[in-house]
Amino acid sequence: MNDKQPKYYSIKALFGSDDYVIPIYQRNYEWGEPQITQLIQDIVDYILKSKISDNKPKYYIGSLIAYERKLEGGVIYETIDGQQRLTTLTILLNVIKKQYSTIDLSWYKKLNLNFDSRKVASNTLSYLFNRESLDNKECNVAIQQGYYDAKKSLAKILADNKLSIDEFCIYFFEKVTILRVLVPEDTDLNHYFEIMNSRGEQLEKHEILKAKMLEILEDDNLKYAFNLIWEATSNMEKYVQYGFSVAQRDELFGKNDWNNLVGKDVLYEKLQIPTANQTTEETLTISQLLVKTAKPITDNSSTTDESPDRFNTIINFANFLLHILRIQTKSDVPLDDKRLLEIFEPFYKNDKEFVKEFGYNLLKGKFNFDKYVIKREFAKGTDHWSLKRLKWYDGNKVSYVNTFDADNTETNDGVNREILMLLSMFHVSNPTLVYKHWLNASLKFVVEYSETNLANDYKSYLENLAKTFLNDRFLAKNQKDYFEIIYTNNGIQKNSLTDIDTNKINQGTAVENFIFNYLDYLLWQDYRANKNYFKIKNGQVFSDNRVKDFEYTFRSSVEHYYPQHPIDENLILQGQDAVWLDNFGNLCLISGSKNSRLSNFMPVAKKDYYTGSTTIDSIKQRIMMEYEHWDTNGTNNHNEIKEHSEKMTELLK
């Protein structure tokens, strides 16, 4: 082999030698918290796997396709494919370099990644490499936020898995492996880049899983029904009823309703292979069904208002399959869809009854997911979180109404809104699929529910679950496992006050996003009821409709309201005063872009910025803005931080 042929590189080899550049035709760096967290979690998963394996498996992170650009005095490698991973790995290396001084990085002698014609992005990486503060500097917002996300996620994942930074780095540097492929010298790079981005996708893992499970079923009618259910549920963007013909909907979900699912004992009887005289849909042989994905059934129903494809799901189908597997087996299976085939195999292998039951649970799970789990809805030119079900009308017409409080779709101010707020609070706090334990808990509750007061019981369950996540997980001295919380303790808090460490909320940027989001939910409820926590000046309540209309967004940046590095250096808190910077009273959760823009401004300037905004990032921050002397430089300047901290801690308790 010569140096032009594909070659595997460890992280240490990749970043300890050649130089790379991101060309101008590449898009900007776009990875956010979900992708960065998933990358770190993947590495940790392989570290844990290597601990119980004799051969210490490597983690192959994919390929890096590059072009050898010859310069005077050397070469630089132009990155054609793999720039998001390459940039993220650079960020992660520099988190370790800056935050963990005990790690030997003597081999990482130079920053070997730059950007063509993007000076700010290159400078941002340079600041990180040189361990400089990003404050008061012009930075690439995505890279800057990527650094904060990687720093926070790495610490959290290591703690969750009881790994040391030394164990992580030993594996990360030596065993995480990437394949570098060099394109020929005469390659038309722009044309090659177009081809790379328009290439066809490989067969999905869930498609392979379906084929394997179909092999277990012996009866043609069972195969037909199972395949139909799989295809109907696999479109996570549409309600499951749209995956069947109108006649099948009537059979499965109730004629003139479509909101009541048949029992497990009759499901497969309702979905028989169509006979020759049944003309409501195309008749396919079993062999045809197995060769290709079933064709969409012509839908002769219609909606009374909007198209049925106006919703965006919060998870993908492969991840949904793992949630259903957990609920059916009551086993602590990981929610990692990259390992889908490996995870499923022990359960379905040569077990026809398991496959049949899974088919029913898959349909029941998607039926309940559609009604009782939030989606992102695009309608009338705007997008919002929604919690809606199908409503049937004469003539096979349907519309979408609130799942609960169906008559209040416009005002949206009852229990439906409360449940929607709880679900969106959980979702934005856990953007990474592998951490969506709250979703597994929610889905398990509605799938297994058999009482008569679902709306209030569901709301109570989610509120208890949130409190339990707070006190048995995020503030616990000894964290309880999510599976234990959901499947053993049924979402009920078990920790007493002596088991909880409230100092965990006074850790600056290390405070969990969930804690801020949960507090905003409690404040939102207080605003709608008593307004006890909105009494700031002389016991008077302030009003702001933006609090009542608050909607969760993906905020991932913990802001110090009194800045760590004010533009005026004379205002920097020093000595004993500096302890108040990381105090919970001085912290709130906002979007990364706003934090980057405003982080060094004094509180009065931040308040001026938000005054004209039609929305707020944080209810907690909105309360902080009512205080008048937050930024007074003097001996009593921390009274308001302390007062606010005590009130917020009281509410969390």
Question: For residue 10, is it left (φ>0), alpha (ψ between -120 and 50) or beta?
Answer: beta
Q: What integer pLDDT is reported at residue 130 of this predicted model? A: 94
> What confidence tens digit (pLDDT) does each residue in 196-211 have?
555 545 568 899 999 9
Residue 179 lies in a domain: yes
Q: State yes or no: pLDDT of 285 exceeds 50.
A: no
- Tell me if 91 sits within 8 A of 98, measured CB to CB: no
* Predicted local distance difference test score (pLDDT) of residue 464: 98
Are residues 234 and 371 located together in one domain of the fold? yes
For 79, list phi and psi in degrees, rounded to 5.
-80, 115
Range of weakest confidence among 274-278, 282-286, 367-371: 282-286
Q: Same structural domain for residues 212 and 183?
A: no
Ranges 36-40, 293-297, 629-633, most confident: 36-40
- Indicate whether 251 and 191 sit together in one domain: no
Residues 373 and 297 in one domain: yes
Reference 588, options 503, 501, 520, 502; nearest CA is 520
On whether both 172 and 51 belong to a single domain, the answer is yes
pLDDT at 69 over 60: yes
Q: Is residue 639 part of a domain?
A: no
- pLDDT at residue 194, as a whole number: 59
The answer to whether residue 442 is domain-embedded is: no
- Quote the CA–CA distance of 524 and 647 in Å, as a whole number: 15
Do residues 298 and 156 both lie within one domain?
no
Task: Give yes or no: residues 164 and 223 share one domain.
Answer: no
User: Are 327 and 365 contacting, i.e. CB atoms less than 8 angstroms apart?
Assistant: yes
Q: Give the distance from CA 57 to its chain's centroid.
A: 27
- Whether residue 136 lies inside any domain: the answer is yes
Last residue of a domain, one of 198, 221, 255: 198
377-408 confidence digits (pLDDT tens): 998 788 999 999 998 888 778 889 999 987 76
111 and 245 share a domain? no
Q: Given this model, what pLDDT does residue 599 score?
A: 84
pLDDT tens per residue across span 471-528: 999 999 999 999 999 999 999 999 999 999 999 999 999 999 999 999 999 999 999 9
- Which neighbouring-strand residues pair with 540? 537
Torsion angle of C-alpha atoms 80, 82, 87, 93, degrees rounded to 10: -130
DSSP string, 153-216: HHHHHHHHTT--HHHHHHHHHHHEEEEEEEPPTT--HHHHHHHHHHPPPPPPHHHHHHHHHHHH
Query: Which one of 198, 219, 254 terminates a domain?
Result: 198
CA distance 623 to 533: 8
176 and 226 belong to one structural domain: no
Let me know if residue 422 belongs to a domain: yes
Selection from 470, 466, 446, 467 nearest residue 457 by Cα: 446
Number of domains in the chain: 2
Give the model's pLDDT for residue 310: 87
Q: Which residues of 4-30 are buried (b: 16+ CB within 10 A; e: fewer)?
A: eeeeebbbbbbbbebebbbbeebeebe
CB atoms within 10 A of CB 72: 4
Task: List the domain range (segments joined by +) for residue 154.
Answer: 7-198
Establish if 37 belongs to a structural domain: yes
Q: 70 falls in which pLDDT band (50, 70, 90)?
A: confident
Same domain for 185 and 222, yes or no, is no
Domain end among 180, 198, 216: 198
Q: 571-608, pLDDT tens digit by residue?
A: 888 888 888 999 999 999 998 877 777 888 899 888 98
Distance (Å, whole) CA 585 – CA 602: 15
Strands of the 388-393 sheet, one edge to the other = 302-303, 397-402, 388-393
Q: Which residue has the higher pLDDT, 373 or 82?
A: 373
- The predicted structure's pLDDT at residue 305: 44
Claim to verify: residue 227 and residue 99 sit in the same structural domain: no
Q: Is residue 518 part of a domain?
A: no
Band (3; pLDDT cuts 50, 70, 90): low
Q: Is the C-alpha dihedral spanning 131, 134, 137, 139 positive or negative?
A: positive
- DSSP of 546-594: HHHT-------EEEESS-SS-SSGGG---GGGGGGTTSGGGEEEE-HHH
Angle between helices 415-429 and 437-448 (to 10 degrees): 150
Lowest mean pLDDT among 135-149, 179-193, 535-549, 575-589: 179-193
Q: Is residue 56 part of a domain?
A: yes
pLDDT, tens digit, 9 for 90 and up, residues 421-472? 999 999 999 988 988 999 999 999 999 999 999 999 999 999 999 999 999 9
Residue 638 has pLDDT above 90, yes or no: no
Q: How many CA atoms lie within 13 A of 61 on its CB side?
A: 31
Average of per-residue pLDDT across 115-119? 89
For the chain, the C-alpha Rg in angstroms (whole number) is 27
Q: Provide the mean pLDDT of the chain.
A: 87
Percent of the chain with pLDDT over 90: 61
Pair (11, 128) in one structural domain: yes
